[in-house]
Amino acid sequence: MDNQSMVTEILLMGFSNDHDDQILYFVMFLCFYLIALVGNFLIITAVAMNHQLHTPMYFFLVNLSLTDIGYITTTIPKSMVASLTDNRLISFAGCVAQVFLMMSFAGSDLALLTVMAYDRYVAICHPLQYRLIMNWDACTQMAAASWISTLIHASIQTSVTFRLDFCGSNIIGQYFCDIPQLMKISCTDTKVNQILIFVFAITMDSFCGGFIFVSYGYIFSAVLRIPSVQGKYKAFSTCTPHLIVFFLFITTDAFTYMRPKTLSSPTADLISTVLYTVLPPVINPIIYSFRNKDIQEAVWKILKKIKYLLR
């Protein structure tokens, strides 16, 4: 790329220049990272080891956990190393990789949440046809489509971003390479990029959000027709974790990329980005563990086996 002859490294500003503060941020990020890894790996292991959980809903949940692990791993380890070594430089190629991976994992999260809404719709509104519609071939194809479509989207966004010229400042006010921050330091007109980001965000969020809301409209209508209170509770309990995770993801996404400039400041940008990149991977497994009895039982079995082996 021509860009590389102009800017070969990007300086990530991070949170603070004070050494004690950097150690504090390292410890905080390490805790968040370990919680995310342990929580998501527990879900993956619980589903893999329990044959009763080998169903489409948990198949997509495993995909979501894998996405969350990749999502938080793309940014947090680099930031922790920078805090310890006080070296905040990232190569231009590393910056390109971060942008591509962030866009890929974020898009996969949204796509998988949309597919999971369809799974719940079929399970509750068409229970007799569930096995026929949500067969393993269909599940694999939907998961593959989610990944492939987001990889294409990430490739387009990354290539358009790095077609810009970076010939001035190489300092961005974030702890990882973020597209809005990169556009700020570009010496090229970024109006086309801004329009493209806005169009992609509106299109994808509207389609996925609209699909999920319509699905849950049918789901709630079907659940309210269930005669028994226990049946209603069971149906709602399988939907609640998914709804909470979706609203958490979409609100942090919207606040990060679609808030007005009047609410934008270096501090607000950092806080919103932490919420967007760290909170979902950390909270998602906790929500599914607390709100899903099958996952709870499977996780407890694993923890008991670990406790027994450590004796």
Q: Round to whole Å and give the CA distance between 289 and 296.
A: 5
pLDDT at 128 exceeding the cut of 60: yes
What's the confidence (pLDDT) of residue 129?
A: 92
Question: Per residue in 141-198, pLDDT tens?
Answer: 999 999 999 999 999 989 988 888 887 778 887 888 888 888 888 888 878 888 888 8
What's the confidence (pLDDT) of residue 231?
A: 77
Q: Round to whole Å and give the CA distance between 33 and 39.
A: 10
Q: CA dist 270 to 68, 227, 240, 276, Å? A: 20, 49, 30, 10
What's the confidence (pLDDT) of residue 268?
A: 67
What is the model's pTM? 0.86
Q: CA dist 50 to 42, 84, 116, 298, Å? A: 12, 40, 20, 7
In the block, residue with structure tokens 């390109």: 96
Q: CA dist 187 to 76, 89, 159, 184, 221, Å? A: 28, 20, 17, 8, 53
What's the confidence (pLDDT) of residue 74?
A: 93
Which of 118, 115, 179, 107 minimizes the C-alpha distance to 149?
Answer: 107
pLDDT at 248 exceeding the cut of 70: yes
Residue 261 pLDDT grade (very low, low, confident, very high; cuts 50, 70, 90): low
Which residues are CB-neighbours of 199 under 8 A, at least 6 positions away?
none
pLDDT at 127 exceeding the cut of 80: yes
| Burial track 33-53 (b if 16+ CB lie within 10 A, e otherwise) | bebbbebbebbbebbeebeeb
Averaged pLDDT, 270-289:
82
% of the chain beyond a pLDDT of 90:
29
In the block, residue with structure tokens 């950390």: 282
Averaged pLDDT, 32-48:
92
Averaged pLDDT, 198-222:
86
Domains of the chain listed by start with CATH number:
3-310 (1.20.1070.10)
Q: CA dist 166 to 1, 3, 154, 289, Å? A: 11, 6, 20, 45
